[in-house]
Structure 1
Amino acid sequence: MSTHFVGEGNIGSAPEFREFPNGNDEPRRLLRLNVYFDNPVPTKDGFEDRGGYWAPVELWHREAEHWQSLYQKGMRVLVEGRTVRDEWEDADENERVTFKIEARRVGILPYRIESVMLSPKHASDPAHPAE
């Protein structure tokens, strides 16, 4: 069972990159982020967090290794994807259930960013056609 998810939060630890063999095809690449989705409520002194939660965010993509250096601990992100129920056993063989987010997109929000450097477009890149 899954459901659509859109949330804004902060990356809580360094991104974790993994690569999985896929037979003779290109390996599958995973970038896992640990994100705290907060619930900021305005107060007269600024904002107060009223009940956020931590969730693992998984981004499966061929560019995942490159993005590992892009996403950083503390960065504010907007995550779009779906929530997925994840069943597993702990070290004592107890059954556990958690929820994770399989992201379609993870956008970087401009909070706490000091600079941005754009790479040039490549004519051979179908995602960025030359103008």
Structure 2
Amino acid sequence: MSTHFSGEGNIGSPPEYREFPNGNDEPSRLLRLNVYFDNPVPKKDGTFEDRGGFWAPVEIWHRDAEHWKDLYQKGMRVLVIGRMEREPWEDKDEKPRETWQINARSVGILPYRIESVTLSPKPASAEQPPPSE
């Protein structure tokens, strides 16, 4: 069971990166973020109160996940879009439990507490020739 999800939150721990063998093909790559999705409600004094926030694991399955593990950092504010999925499991006493996780289609970095952004140069193949007259 899954449903569309879109939410803002803060990454709560360093990203976890894993690779899974895929026969002779390129391995499957997973980047997992632990994100707290808050629900800030304004108070009369101008401050905010968090009501009903929750933690959720966010999984990004992508060939660039290895590169992105250095991009996302603990404390970073992100916008996550994807599918929320229920994952049933059993605890050590064999009692049924469930976790809701997000299979992300995209994770955008929001500009809160960001000091600088550095872009890598365009690949040579993306360079456009000057217009001819």
Shared fold (TM-score, shorter chain, > 0.5): yes
Note the C-alpha offset of 1:91: 2.9
| Aligned-partner Cα distance in 2 for 1:87–1:130 | 49
Could you report, residue by residue, the CA deviation over 1:54-106 in whole angstroms, capped at 9, with x for unpaired residues?
00000000010110010000000000000011012223333221110000000
Structure 2 counterpart of 1:20: 20
CA RMSD of superposed structures (Å): 1.2
Unmatched 5+ stretches in structure 2: 129-133
Q: TM-score, normalised by structure 1?
A: 0.91
Note the C-alpha offset of 1:47: 1.6
Q: What's the secondary structure of 2:69's corresponding residue?
A: helix
Which of these two proteins has the greater Rg computed from alpha carbons?
Answer: 2
Q: TM-score, normalised by structure 2?
A: 0.90
Aligned residues: 127
| Aligned-partner Cα distance in 2 for 1:130–1:3 | 40
Structure 2 counterpart of 1:45: 46
Aligned residue runs from structure 1 range 72-87, under 5 A: 72-87=73-88
Structure 1 counterpart of 2:65: 64
Unmatched 5+ stretches in structure 1: none
Could you report, residue by residue, the CA deviation over 1:101-131 in whole angstroms, capped at 9, with x for unpaired residues?
000000000000011000011144xxxx444
Identity %: 76
